[in-house]
Structure 1
Amino acid sequence: MRAEKLQFWYGILFTLFIAVISFGIAQLPGFTYIGPLATAIILAFIYRQIFGYPDRLRSGIQFSAKVLLRAAIILYGLKLNIDTVFTEGLPLLMKSAIVIALAILLSYALAKIFKADMTLSMLLGVGTGVCGAAAIAAVAPIIKAKDEDTAVSVGIIALLGTVFSIFYLIIRPYLPIGDVAYGVWSGLSLHELAHVALAAEPAGEEALAFALLAKLSRVFLLVPLCFIFIWYMRRKQSRTGEAKVAFPYFLIGFILMSLLNSYVLGNAVVLPEGTMDLISNLTTLLLTMAMIALGLNINMKDMAGRTLRPFAIIFFVSILISVMVYIIK
């Protein structure tokens, strides 16, 4: 029993150790664009291919993959200010809904046409439409995605988002649009919150503010999107007789954290300076540990033949969304 407990804690510490290394590597030139999440998945992937899965540490690693991942999503709710979205971002909500619907439905349709892996395609569609890793992690248990599918999807989204945000930076001086319009375009079309900040920050504070507002309007729609997936999966399983979809209770925590950030913190309760930055860093650390745990499940032999078509599909979808948002921004 004592040995099992030690292996459990060693498994958690193992993911923490690689996470710390990932944060360090992410500060190096070139890796700053990729970020700690993608770096962590790459390190975990390399470890798995060379050394195999560390079975003795499985219980602790699975804890990071399941429990810490849900804790990170709950804390991610503190990044969302619902009041700001309602008071200033209502026009963006409709555009965000269009972006999300287009990303998911187009990914689904193209996966059907080209016979691509449907689970990967749907996770990538959700990550592209909403908010990258957090959205993928929230939807994955609902559609019963495997851990390796979740990890690969997050890695692809991190890669595409980085490429697109750098491309935005390069072409911004040549675009016939103002800084605010550029910010809205970035916020409505780029994959991760970090990618939006990377692309919009050089355009000035006002552009960055509108970019983040546009992105938050997409994050806001994550919860109703999850409920749509729950309804769809339960409806599908009632016909096939499969096991029912468990309700993702961590979404309640996400909602409560969003409400707390929107209507309590900064109003009724004022936190010490730097507290929110500390919580944000903790959220990223927990999410990075979870991504390492998921990344350890990636077996190159099993995944190589399944990723090419979903990657091509989501690359096309990302381009289409970028062009469409530029037109309707």
Structure 2
Amino acid sequence: MPGAPVTGSDDEAGVDAGRRKSRAGLLPGVALAGAAAVVALGAQQLLPTVSPLLVAIVLGVVFANLRPVHAPLEPGLRFASKRVLRIGVVLLGFQLALDDMVGLGAAMLLVVVAVVAIGIGGGLLMGRALGLRPVQSLLIACGFSICGAAAVAAVEGAVDADDEDVASAVGLVVLYGTLMIGVVPLLLGALHLPGHEQGLIAGVSIHEVAQVVAAGGIIGGGALTVAVVVKLARVLMLAPVILTIGLVRRRSGERTSGARPPLVPLFVLGFLGAAVVRTVAHLDPALLDGIKALQTVCLSAAMFALGCGVRFTLLRWVGARPVVLGALGSALVLAVSTGGVLLVA
């Protein structure tokens, strides 16, 4: 009837239709990011030491610079770079069994804390001396000190970082972490350290979990198992680091979209909750393998989406300073790791 008022049911129907349209608008970009993640996983099968996260972000950069990213793809790519990324970080928690961390002993856990704290603090100071922006230095320092690209992704979810800074941090993590696969076993072998100690140093100094696995395999003996356990203890440091970042941002009065930044982002609580579930529930190994694969897909899809926001014309200003920070950060983390392990072993 003309002029009749709109009923509540009409309002609800309009809202539902809008939500369905919004979800449908996400599909093209999310599907593209998912396809890129599958390609990145395929590349890892061919080259096991290559991080699928790096492959995905390179694919995104190449895709965005070979042709313009069409408007229908943008909502889904934004969704992948934020929401899907945070889902991946939550799923990362299922790799952590807290009782394995406790088994390392209090002294070794203190070494892990020292490596992360000194690595991040030193990275920020060196970044300032090199004239880098604080956020860029923070991304690189956290990636090198905690768990590589996943740490960069987690920190990006807690601060307002440019896509170019994220891409450069991930690239540097993979570059220097890959170099350390060969360098760390060579250096530790020259020191004639026992395999157990070599495994501890590799796990507490090398950036990515996959890179730690590769280095532990090169060292041999019982080094691989202990290297992975101590590496996962570093991964657990994501939570207190993100909490500290939230505290600093609040005290500085920083605001995002008119709101106070969260003290602890929801995805970090999910990350901790997943670690607790893994510890108390004794999940089936096949289920854990499936969760790990899904986590890698989510993070790879997010990295592709982030890469799509990077333009070569905007990367020209990056220059050599982040590369220098990467070299200094790797050396610092390795030095603190070696000294700490030799002190407590």
**Aligned pairs (5 A) from 1:99-118:** 99-118=115-134
**Residue 164 of structure 2 contacts residue 314 of structure 2 at CA under 8 Å; is this kept in 1?**
no
**Residue 136 of structure 2 contacts residue 165 of structure 2 at CA under 8 Å; is this kept in 1?**
yes
- State the alpha-carbon separation in 1 of the partners of residues 23 and 156 from structure 2: 28
Match status 1:297 vs 2:309: yes
Structure 1 regions of 5+ residues with no counterpart? none
Q: 1:17 to 1:231 in 2, by over 3 A?
A: same
1:221 is matched with which residue: 233, 237, 241?
A: 237
Aligned residue for 1:20? 38
Find runs of 4+ consecutive structure 1 residues off by over 3 angstroms.
Answer: 1-7, 169-175
**Residue 86 of structure 2 contacts residue 157 of structure 2 at CA under 8 Å; is this kept in 1?**
no
* CA offset digits 1:232-266 (Å, max 9, x no partner): 11111179xx8521341011111111000011125
Aligned residue for 1:210? 226
**Aligned pairs (5 A) from 1:1-329:** 5-28=23-46, 31-171=47-187, 173-204=189-220, 206-237=222-253, 243-246=259-262, 247-266=264-283, 271=284, 273-306=285-318, 308-329=320-341
Structure 2 regions of 5+ residues with no counterpart? 1-17
The amino acid of 2:315's aligned partner reads M
Q: Percent of pairs identical after alignment?
A: 28
- State the alpha-carbon separation in 1 of the partners of residues 176 and 194 from structure 2: 25
- State the alpha-carbon separation in 2 of the partners of residues 260 and 219 from structure 1: 16
- State the alpha-carbon separation in 1 of the partners of residues 233 and 26 from structure 2: 39
Give the TM-score normalised by structure 1. Answer: 0.90
The amino acid of 1:254's aligned partner reads F
- State the alpha-carbon separation in 1 of the partners of residues 91 and 232 from structure 2: 15
The amino acid of 1:11's aligned partner reads G
Greater Cα shift, 137-146 or 15-24? 137-146
- State the alpha-carbon separation in 1 of the partners of residues 109 and 188 from structure 2: 24
CA shift for structure 1 position 194:
1.0
**Residue 91 of structure 2 contacts residue 271 of structure 2 at CA under 8 Å; is this kept in 1?**
yes
Q: Secondary structure at the match of 1:14?
A: helix
The amino acid of 1:111's aligned partner reads G
How many pairs align? 322
**Residue 34 of structure 1 contacts residue 159 of structure 1 at CA under 8 Å; is this kept in 2?**
no
- State the alpha-carbon separation in 1 of the partners of residues 229 and 84 from structure 2: 27
Q: State the Cα RMSD in Å.
A: 2.3
Greater Cα shift, 189-198 or 131-140? 131-140
* CA offset digits 1:171-222 (Å, max 9, x no partner): 5543411111110010110111111111012333521121112112212222
**Residue 185 of structure 2 contacts residue 219 of structure 2 at CA under 8 Å; is this kept in 1?**
no
The amino acid of 1:286's aligned partner reads C
